[in-house]
Structure 1
Amino acid sequence: MESLFLSESPSKTLLLLRGIPGSGKTTFAKQISNSNGAPIFSIDSYFENEKGEYQFDYTKNHLAYKECESKTKDALEKGIPFVIVDNTFTLDWEMKPYEDLAKTFGYLCFVITVENRHGGKNVHQIPEEQIEKMKAKFKVVL
């Protein structure tokens, strides 16, 4: 596991961080990126304005997913050695395009499910009712 976080690792790595809002995915992604310089791609960044304020628009959600996937593909095409994708990935099939990209470009693909064991709250004001729906459909594949 230690070599997973080292930038000089001989293998190219795509790390998918998944979990419900408030679980700490973004914080964890930033900690890894700070240690190895890995780019982080997330649908959340699509909804941030130039001031860094989050302004979600459900009607553009599909565009955010496509942009995140496209940016990830660009990074893998360039051969960036370690790439992080920080999304909820509540459904298994949502990770499939990224797994396919990893295979296409010769990357190891790791999935880490980030659990909220620290009592974190989502910073995007997602209603608790919506988070409960996400929890209900969240599946972990072992």
Structure 2
Amino acid sequence: MPKLTLIRGLPGSGKSTLAEKLAQQTFAVHLEADHFFTQDDGSYRYNARRIKDAHIWCQGQCEYYLSLDFDVIVANTFVELWEMQIYHQLADKYQAEIEVIHCKGTWQNIHNVSQASIDDMKKRWQE
């Protein structure tokens, strides 16, 4: 039975770092919507107009790997609970154990998300 781990938190909370560490320890597939914006040369080119595409891509990759019985770790902000719903449905579909981890660190975010955007996310945060 595969395991699906969802790591949620604000930008700079340590989601990516934790996901990378857990993926190395458990041989799980590590996914993030941000990976959609990472180019072949490793550079990151965010495009706000394509954020929906990025999340659809991430969900599709998660389903693909769960269908192959891989453990999957998805690290996204998941500010509002509905944003995790599709992943809960995928866990049910593939009979995967699911775990949700909330990162609460306060490091500099690597994608230069503005403080105004982070403050907006804080206001909308759902436990």
TM-score band w.r.t. shorter chain: over 0.9
1:12 to 2, 18, 23: 2
- 1:131 matched to which residue of 2? 118
SS at match of 2:57: helix
TM-score for the superposition, normalised by structure 2: 0.96
Q: Write the letter of the residue equivalent to 1:79.
A: D
Q: Percent identity?
A: 30
Gaps of 5+ in 2: none
Q: Which has the larger radius of gyration?
A: 1
- 1:108 matched to which residue of 2? 97
Tell me which stretches of 4 or more aligned residues in structure 1 moved more than 6 Å: none
| Deviation digits for residues 46-88 of structure 1 (CA, Å, limit 9, x no counterpart) | 11112222211111011000000000000111111x2100100
- 1:97 matched to which residue of 2? 86
Q: Write the letter of the residue equivalent to 1:48.
A: T
Gaps of 5+ in 1: 1-10
**1-structure distance, mates of 2:44, 2:107:** 18
1:43 to 21, 26, 33: 33
**2-structure distance, mates of 1:132, 1:107:** 34
Aligned residues: 127
Q: Does 1:55 align with 2:45?
A: yes
Q: Does 1:83 align with 2:72?
A: yes
SS at match of 2:39: coil
TM-score for the superposition, normalised by structure 1: 0.86
Query: Which structure ranks higher in relative contact order (CA pairs < 8 Å, sequence separation ≥ 6)?
Result: 2
Query: What RMSD, in angstroms, separates the aligned Cα atoms of the two structures?
Result: 0.9
* Displacement after TM superposition at 1:12 (Å): 2.3
